Every structure is written in C-alpha cells, then in structure tokens.
Amino acid sequence: MDKFTKLTGIAAPMPLVNIDTDMIIPKQFLKTIKRSGLGVNLFDEMRYTLDGKEIPEFVLNQPAYRQAQIIVAGDNFGCGSSREHAPWALLDFGIRCVISTSFADIFYNNCFKNGILPIVMPQDVVDVLMEDAKKGANARQTVDLEAQTVTTSDGRVFPFDVDAHRKDCLINGLDDIGLTMVKAKSIDSFEQKAATLRPWA
C-alpha cells in the first residue's frame, strides 16, 4: 500500500448525496480478478454515454478536474455494496482523498486499506471546501494527514479527526495482515479457549 502523508491537489466537487458504490463502479466491471485498471470505468454510467462517449458536463470529464486527486462529496458517500472495486477504481483514477459529511462504514474502511484517506467534516466545512473546489484547477487543496488538517486554496485551515491506528497504517503504508500475524499466539490461545466454551462454532 502506498503511504499517505501530505497531498496537494485538485479537488473535484460532487455535491450529490448518497453516491453509491454502483455509481462509483458499476457491476459489469466487477468481473475482474485484478485490483488495477478500473480507473477508466470510475463513475462509468455518469461519465460516459451508452455508446462510450464522454459526457462533457460530468465533473471528472471537465478539463479542470481530469487530474483531480481529491473529491469533495455530498452526504453518505460510498453507500451500498462492500465492493472494494470502488476504492480500487478511485485510486486507479488518481483519487487519494474523499471529503464528505459522512461515509458508509464498509466503504470508509475499504479506503484505508488502499491508501485513500476519507475525511469526515461537518456540513459547514464541507460547504466551504465544496465552494473552493468549484473554483477549478487553480484551486488546489492541501490535505496533511500528520497535522490532520485540510487547507483551502486561499489558506483557510480546517482540522479533522482520524483513528490513530488507521492514521499510523496510512502514514507508514503498513500491511494489516502482517501486523495481525504478529499476534498469532493470542489467536491460538483464543481458539483453544473457544474450543471449550463454544465447541460447535
């Protein structure tokens, strides 16, 4: 997993609420056995016509936002299925950070496993960041994970909260499985205890 420390980049405004994982990556692209290559189909049905032409109004098709690395989104981003293809598609496109008032739990969790930072901010802050993002390519926002701040293009700074363990994993690019393997003895002893208490399980 790529580390995430500090990012300065273009933020794309997506104010629609309840952007679901079917919108982020429609099911026909889940038939892959790889993690890579999904960026071209990110937001496929919002981004392309039925015959595969770009829809010019869609934010990521606009010249200012084609290189976006941040999305500022409406409430409840990532609701729906558990498909990790959603963060894979975002990452493959180049998105490293999504900011919203709320995220669906599973999507939120999946982001951290892939080096994407989801940031929850209150509505008034998301409103400010959304307006800032609407300024286009010259309005770069800075996300500093170590300092836990987002800075708008005109220098306004907003702090955010993040779970300490997840922050540590992102900053150091740590592999969860490796970390858990270190606790193999605890898992062994749990299994021995459970074999007596709940032998049917």
Partner 1 sequence: MTARTLYDKIWDDHMVDQAEDGTCLLYIDRHLVHEVTSPQAFEGLRMTGRKVRAPQKTIAVPDHNVPTTLDRANAATMTEDSRIQVEALDKNAKDFGINYYPVSDVRQGIVHIVGPEQGWTLPGMTVVCGDSHTATHGAFGALAHGIGTSEVEHVLATQTLIQRKAKNFKVEITGSLRPGVTAKDITLSVIGATGTAGGTGYVIEYCGQAIRELSMEGRMTVCNMAIEGGARAGLIAPDEKTYAYCMGRPHAPKGAAWEAAVTYWKTLFSDEGAHWDKVITLKGEDIAPVVTWGTSPEDVLPITGKVPSPSDFTGGKVDAVQRALDYMGLTPGQNLSDIKIDTVFIGSCTNGRIEDLRAAAAILKGKKKKDGIRAMVVPGSGLVRAQAEEEGLAQIFIDAGFEWRLAGCSMCLAMNPDQLAPGERCAATSNRNFEGRQGRGGRTHLLSPAMAAAAAITGHLTDVRDLM
| Angle (nearest 5°) at CA 112 between 106 and 115 | 140
Find the length of the chain: 201
Q: In this chain, which of 41, 69, 81, 141 binds partner 1, going by CB under 8 A? A: 81
Q: Does 52 bind partner 1 (CB under 8 A)?
A: no
DSSP 40: G
- The span from the CA of 147 to the CA of 160, in Å, is 9
In the block, residue with structure tokens 């299994």: 191
Closer CB to partner 1, 8 or 54, in the complex: 54
Q: Of residues 51, 63, 138, 164, which one binds partner 1 by CB under 8 A? A: 164
DSSP state of 145: T
Q: Distance between CA 87 and CA 109 in Å, rounded? A: 10
Residue bearing tokens 């409430």: 75
Q: Exactly one of 30, 64, 147, 174 binds partner 1 (CB under 8 A); which one?
A: 30
Tell which residue, 174, 156, 154, has the closest CA to residue 164: 174
CB of 38 to partner 1, least distance (A): 11
Site residue total, partner 1 (CB under 8 A): 57
Q: Between residue 88 and residue 117, which ones bind partner 1 under the rule CB under 8 A?
A: 102-106, 109-110, 113-114
Query: Which residues within the stretch 55-74 sit at the binding site for partner 1 (CB under 8 A)?
Result: 74
Contacts with partner 1 by CB under 8 A lie at 15-18, 20, 22-23, 26-28, 30-35, 45, 50, 74-76, 79-84, 87, 102-106, 109-110, 113-114, 163-165, 176-177, 179-181, 183-184, 186-187, 190-191, 194, 197-201
